[in-house]
Amino acid sequence: MEAQSRRVAGSSETKNRRRDGAVMYGRGLPTLSIATVVAIAVSLSLVFFYAPLEAEQGFLQKIFYVHVPLAIIALCGFVLGGLLAIQHLRTRDPRWDMRSYVVIHMSLIFAVGTLITGSIWAKGSWGHWWVWSEPTLVSFLIVFLLYATYQPLRFAIEDPERQSRYASVFAITAGAFVPANFIAVRLSTAYLHPRVLGSTSNLPASMALTFLVSLGALSLLFATLCKYELTAKHTRSQIRALRRRLDGGDAGAPARARSAVPSLQHLTTSGAGPVVSAPAAGSSAR
């Protein structure tokens, strides 16, 4: 009984890990959330009450202050997911896999926002929701569809170790495809789609400032949502570990249900260091 209560309370290593902040994903979350809200409020104020109307498009151009930052952050997030996946393959630490998964997951949501806001702008400007002859639109859709297969790929692999490895390889390959795709579109000859980022230096100072503030605000939103996601997933895995311990240890624990979400069971059950190569406890290896 005493041993069990000691296990439930957590080992000294676990306590140290919590104290040193290595696995405390929720640390700094309130500050980040407040900074995000303030930045978004400032950004919206600048967009609607400070930035001048664009000569050709008029009020419709205000969409770009949300559409372009969403697209930039989504694409950068995909690349970042690949970099985190490289770190996962180097260290075999499942936490890097979790970070890569969360960043790609959030980038996918931002990409949905990009596609919808872009379609709304296209309808207002071109009179069509979608133009298949426009390379920027189609290439972004291809990138989106490529990453839409990330979750099904993870779900299709039952063994957590193999799942994380294959997902990392996918994230690296697709992450390398993103800048290549971007450069290819830039080199294409059709220029129907406005080049907002390329002409930032030609923007009036007020427009450039508004654009940069919007980019910063949405980047903060991205970081905050990723942190929320990481904290929630880590808390869930900690609760699962606690449940296993209360149920009498890993031996009687039920097998982990198939999931696309990376497993952090190794860390929460053993309290071991970051380098883990063994499959998750309770997983059914093929």
Partner 1 sequence: MLAAALAEVPALPLHTAGKYVAGAYIVLFVLVLIYVAIMAIRLSRIERDLGELLSVSESAAPDGPPPAPASPASHDPDRESAPA
Least distance to partner 1 from the beta carbon of 237, Å? 11
Cβ(13)–Cβ(187) under 8 Å?
A: no
Q: Residue 40's closest CA among 212, 218, 222?
A: 218
6 binds partner 1 per the rule CB under 8 A: no
* CB atoms near residue 166 (< 10 Å): 15
The CA-based angle 76-82-85, given to 5 degrees, is 140
Pick the binder of partner 1 from 34, 41, 116, 142 (CB under 8 A). Answer: 116
Q: Which of residues 45-64 bind partner 1 (CB under 8 A)?
A: 48-49, 53, 57-60, 62-63
Compose the 241-260 pattern: x for residues touching partner 1 by CB under 8 A, - for all others.
Answer: -xx--xx-------------
DSSP 1-19: -HHHHHHHH--HHHHHHHH
C-alpha separations of 170 from 81, 165, 174 in Å: 10, 9, 6
Q: Is 214 left (phi over 0), alpha (psi -120 to 50) or beta?
A: alpha
Judged by beta carbon, residue 21 or residue 248, the one nearer partner 1 is: 248
**Which of 236, 255, 277, 285 touches partner 1 (CB under 8 A)?**
236
Q: Name the token pair of 158.
A: 């039952």
Task: Tell me: does residue 42 bind partner 1 (CB under 8 A).
Answer: no
How far is residue 164's CA from residue 260's CA, in Å, rounded to a whole number?
A: 9
How many residues bind partner 1 (CB under 8 A)? The answer is 37
Query: CB of residue 270 vs partner 1: minimum separation in angstroms?
Result: 19
Select the span of 20-28, 128-136, 160-168, 220-228 touching partner 1 (CB under 8 A). Answer: 220-228
Please name the residue that has the structure tokens 């929701």: 129
The interface with partner 1 within residues 124-143 (CB under 8 A) comprises 124
Contact in structure between 170 and 216 (CB atoms under 8 Å): no
Q: Quote the least distance from Cβ 8 to partner 1, whole Å.
A: 7
109 binds partner 1 (CB under 8 A): yes
Distance (Å) of CA 1 to CA 4, 8, 272: 5, 10, 23
For residue 54, the minimal CB distance to partner 1 (Å) is 11
Phi, psi dihedrals of residue 10, rounded to the nearest 5°: 105, 145
The least CB distance from residue 268 to partner 1, in Å, is: 14
Nearest approach, Cβ of residue 236 and partner 1 (Å): 7
In degrees, to the nearest 5, what angle opens at C-alpha 274 toward C-alphas 269 and 278? 65
Q: Tell whether residue 4 is a contact of partner 1 (CB under 8 A).
A: yes
What residues line the site for partner 1 (CB under 8 A)? 1, 4-5, 8, 44, 48-49, 53, 57-60, 62-63, 66-67, 70, 109, 112-113, 116-117, 120-121, 123-124, 221, 225, 228, 232, 235-236, 239, 242-243, 246-247
